[in-house]
Amino acid sequence: MPDATTPLPVQTPRDHGGGLDAAIARHGGDRRGWLDLSTGINPTPYPVGPLPHDAWTALPDAGAMEGLLTAARALWQVPDALGIVAAPGASALIARIPALWPDLGSAQTGGRAHVPAPTYNEHGASLAAHGWTLTEDQPDLRVIVHPNNPTGTWHGVEMLGAPRMVVDESFCDIAPERSLLPHLPEGDHLLLKSFGKFWGLAGLRLGFAIGPRHLTERLAELIGPWPVSGPGLAIATA
């Protein structure tokens, strides 16, 4: 049995749920006859009404983005001292988070990350791709998914003790009172939120990172301009 210093395996390739087309091709039927339980996405989505013409034809403007971030702050009761950044899905943030600490992602410095398994495999895969070692022993960074995907496990505040933390609350809106946001310590700690899971609009691709402003501002730089589409902005702020 491996000890705590043994690097944890990374699941490759990056397997995910939601492959309904492949399931239909193998087992038959059509989309109306399937209930996809492989993703944990609300099967009763928020109704989407008609969208304004310029949501499709114009580049998203800064005012629309500010409106989105203001609505997100109100929904999740984000403290004024913390920053918030939007992205085309939480996975887009997960892919960029390792670049926030480039000095820890090299073979020379050997950044160490604890990603308790089993869990959403993009976290471990993204860190490993940036040169991090996945291990439980004295991690520089700990990632927890709260509640965990796929086990549904909820974590306590005692898990927030690493020097750097990523708390993925993509599924937490089912029980907002259990969010760890009020307990997030000062320092290099980020909390992720997903729009698509709870509202049943995963195809919209919209996620958020909450944390100290120096980290959220750097994430915004890494993502680049127009991170959310015009239709996405219109639907999310309706």
Instruction: Specify the range with the lowest mean pLDDT, choosing from 8-22, 43-57, 142-156.
Output: 8-22
Write down all domains in the chain, each with its CATH number in brackets. 15-41 (no CATH), 61-236 (3.40.640.10)
Q: Which DSSP string do the residues of 142-156 spell out, in sequence order?
A: EEEESS-TTT-----
Q: Write the burial class of residue 235 (CB in 10 Å: 0-12 exposed, 13-18 middle, 19+ buried).
A: buried
| DSSP label at residue 170 | T
pLDDT number for residue 108: 59
pTM for the full model?
Answer: 0.89
- What is the Cα–Cα distance from 85 to 228, expressed in whole angstroms? 11
For residues 120-142, average pLDDT: 93
Q: What mean pLDDT do residues 11-27 have? A: 78
Q: Is the confidence at residue 106, as pLDDT, over 70?
A: no
Q: What pLDDT does residue 107 have?
A: 55
Please tell me whether the peptide bond between 147 and the residue prior to it is cis, using omega within 30 degrees of 0. Answer: yes
Rounded to an integer, what distance in angstroms lies between the CA atom of residue 91 and that of residue 191?
13
Residue 203 has pLDDT above 80, yes or no: yes
Residue 16: predicted pLDDT: 76
pLDDT at 212 over 80: yes
More confident residue, 163 or 10: 163
Can you give the pLDDT at residue 26?
92
Q: Give residue 103's pLDDT band: very low, low, confident or very high (50, 70, 90).
A: confident
- Beta bridge partners of residue 194, listed in sequence order: 207
Lowest mean pLDDT among 70-74, 101-105, 160-164: 101-105
